[in-house]
A and B are shown apart, each in its own frame.
Chain A
Amino acid sequence: MQSNSTNKQIKWDEMPDERGHFGPYGGIFVSETLMGALDELRLAYEKYLADDEFLAELDADLKHYVGRPSPVYHAQRLSEVLGGAQVWLKREDLNHTGAHKVNNTIGQALLARRMGKKRIIAETGAGQHGVATATVAARLGLECVVYMGEVDVARQEANVYRMKLLGAEVVPVSSGSKTLKDALNEAMRDWVTNVDDTFFIIGTVAGPHPYPAMVRDFQAIIGREARKQMQEQAGGLPDALVACVGGGSNAIGLFHPFLADESVAIYGVEAAGAGLDTGSHAAPLCAGRPGVLHGNRTYLMEDKNGQIIETHSVSAGLDYPGVGPEHSWLKDIGRANYVAVTDDEALQAFHDLTRIEGIIPALESSHALAYARKLAPTMSKEQNILVNLSGRGDKDMHTVASLEGIEL
C-alpha cells in the first residue's frame, strides 16, 4: 500500500543522529544541569547495548519474568464480523503487569543498576508505567518514587494502590493540568535536584536524547517477535500494522522492525477524544504542530502563543499533549499514517473485542482496535492486519462502568 519511494535511502537503524535528531525532531532541550546526566546515560546505554552479558541478562528477564515472547493471536471471529482482512493481535496484554510498559522498565532498571544508581523516579499517567517501574524497582531492591497528576491519581486508584503495595512512593502532582505532562515536569525537577544518585525511567519514546531511541530499542522486541510470528503463522509479513499512539512507545516498538518493509502499511492511532473538531482531544500528530516540550522537538498540542493546552481522552494513557519525535518524523516523511478515533469509537471497539474474542483490552489499545474495525473492511480476506494489543483492560473497569452509569 502506501510507501514513499524517496525513503528507500534511509538507514532506519541509524536514526536518530548522534545528538538524537530524527530529521528536525528530537534533540536535547533541557536545562544545563541535566546535560551531564544525559551524556552519562547515553554513554552507558551505548556501552551496554553492545555488551553480551547485559543483553543476556535482559533477555532472560524478558523470558522468565515478563513471559516473552508474547503470542500473536488470530482473531478469527472478529475478522469474520468485520468482513475483510484477517485481524491478528500482538498480545502485549499478557505480559507481567499487563502491558508493554514493562519491556522498557526492565531494560532501564537493569541499566540503572549497572550505572550504580540506587534511586528510581518515574512519571505516570494511567499508572501502567508507574506500576511497571515500581515492579522492577521492587525486584531489584531500588528506591522508587512515582510522580502522578492529581487528576490521574483520582481516576486510577487501583494502580496507585498497586504501586504502594510494591513499595513505591506515589507523589500526587497538583500543578498545571494535574495530569501526565505535569507529572513529567515534576519528575524532571526531582531529577535536576537528585541528579547524582537518581535514574529517571521515562515511560515513553519522548523526552531528551537518548530516551526516544533507548525506549524504542527496548520496545522493539514487540516488532521483532511479531515479524517472525507473522511469517510463521500467517505465512508472510502483515499488510498493515495498527497501534495506538499517546507518547507512542508501543507503536514505535511494533513499527520499527518493519520500517524497511515497504509492503507493510503503518497506522498510528491517536485519541480524538470528543472529536478532532471539538478541540477536546489528545491528537498532536493529527491536529497539532511542531514545538519544544519535555526535552525534545515534536508535534504538540499548543495554543497560538505556544502554551501547552489541556488534552482529553477517555484513556488516561493517551492523555498527553506531545508525542515521540520519531513519530513526528515518520509522519512528515510519509512512512507512517497517523489517524485518530474518538472516545466513543474506542469504547465500541472495547466492547466488541470483549464480547467477540473474550479479551478485555485496555482503553488505549481499544483505539488501535477501533481503527482496525474501519480498515479491515476496506481490505481483502487474504490480507492481514496486525494490531498491537498493548495492554489489558482490567485497570479500566471503573472508567467503563462509570460511563455506563454503573457504580462498582
Chain B
Amino acid sequence: MSRIAERFAALKMEGRSALIPYIAAGDPQPQATMRLMHTLVKSGADIIELGIPFSDPMADGPVIQRAAERALEHDVSLHDVLDMVREFRNSDANTPVVLMGYLNPIEVMGYEAFAEAASKAGVDGVLTVDLPPEEGSEFLQALKANQLDPVFLIAPTSDASRIKRICDASSGYVYYVSLKGITGAGHLDIGSVKEKVEEIRALSDLPVGVGFGIKDAETAAKMAEIADAVVVGSAIVSRIEAEAASLDAVDRVVGEFVTELSSALQTRE
C-alpha cells in the first residue's frame, strides 16, 4: 500500500478528513522549503503538496504565480525540488509528499528518469495540471513502474464519463477543483461542490480531495464535511509572500495558519 493510501486508511479510522497544505518549492528562497515542510507537519498537515515552479503556470492565480517567480529568481529546478524532498525524507518517513506542477519541466528531464528520481527521493504522488489522462499513457506507465500515485484533477465541467476515466487513471486520491477558475479565486459555492463530490463518490472508491479557493479555517471545515481531503494553497502562499523578508516570520505565520486549519478539521462533528 502506498504512503498516500496508508494515510487515507488511517484517517478513515480516525473519522476525519486530511489537511493538504500546498507550498511552492523554493518560495521565498530554496533554504526555506525543508523547514517549512516540517512546520506544516508539526502544525497538522496530513499530506504535503509541493509545487514545482514553472515560468508559465496557466492554471494558477497571481498568488501562486508570484511564488513560482520568487523560486525561479533562485533558479529552483526540478532537480532541486527532488533534493528538497530527499532531505525532508531523511527526517520524516511518514508524511506523503505530492508534487504538483506543469508538464514541461518533467518532459525535459524525461518521464522515466523523473519517475525513478522522484521515487528514490521519497515522492509519493504527482499531479500535472496540464496533462489530461488522454495524453498521459507513457507518463502513467513511468509513474506506476516506480510506485508513484498519479493524482488527476476533476473539474466542475467534467461529465460522468470523464470522471470515470480520470478516476481510472488516478491512484491515491483524486483532486476536485471546487470552482471554475484559477487557484486562489474567490467564488466558491459549497452546495455545488457537495453535489459534484457525491457524483464522484458514486463513480469511484478513491478518496476525494477538494481545493481551489479555500481561504480560511471556516471554509476548510465545511469542505472537510464533504470531502476526504482539503487542499489549501493560495491562502498559505499569500502569508509566505507577506513575510518573505524573514524566514523565521514565514515559518511562524505558516505554522499558526496551518494549526488553525487543522484544529478546524479536528473538531468537526
Q: Name A's B-contacting residues (CB within 8 A).
A: 19, 27-37, 175-176, 181-182, 185, 188-189, 192-196, 290-295, 300, 302, 304-309
Contacts and interface: CB of A to CB of B under 8 A. Distances in A.
A195 B58 contact: no
Contacts of B154: 32
B9 interface: no
A306 B180 contact: no
Interface string B165-205: 01000000000010011100100000000000000000000
Contact of B152 (A29, A32, A305): A32
A302 B135 CA distance: 21
Contacts of B57: 185
Contact of B105 (A33, A36, A176, A305): A305
A305 B78 contact: yes
B134 A306 contact: no
A306 B108 contact: yes
Given A28-B135, A32-B154, A305-B78, A291 B182 contact: no
Nearest to A182: B56
Interface string B91-119: 00000000000111111110000000000
Contacts of A30: 58, 130, 132
B61 interface: yes
B65 interface: yes
B58 A188 contact: yes
A327 to B, nearest CB: 18
Interface in B57-104: 57-59, 61-62, 65, 69, 72, 75, 77-79, 102-104
B134 A28 contact: yes
A175 B159 contact: no
26 contacts: A28-B134, A29-B103, A30-B130, A31-B58, A31-B130, A32-B152, A32-B166, A33-B156, A35-B162, A36-B157, A175-B62, A175-B65, A175-B69, A185-B56, A185-B58, A189-B182, A192-B180, A290-B107, A291-B104, A292-B102, A292-B104, A304-B108, A306-B104, A307-B54, A307-B104, A307-B105
Nearest to A36: B157
Contact of A33 (B75, B135, B157, B166): B157
Nearest to A196: B180
A291 B107 CA distance: 7
Contact of B181 (A19, A193, A305): A193
Interface string B110-150: 00000000000000000001111011000000000000000
Contacts of A309: 55
A19 B134 CA distance: 9
A305 B56 contact: no
A28 B182 contact: no
B153 interface: yes
Contact of B131 (A29, A194, A291, A308): A29
A294 B158 CA distance: 20
A308 B182 contact: no
Given A29-B132, A189-B61, 6 more contacts: A27-B135, A31-B58, A32-B155, A33-B177, A35-B158, A189-B58
A307 B58 contact: no
Nearest to B157: A36
CB-CB nearest 7 A-B residue pairs: A306-B108, A306-B105, A33-B155, A305-B77, A36-B157, A193-B181, A31-B59
Contacts of B108: 291, 302, 304-306
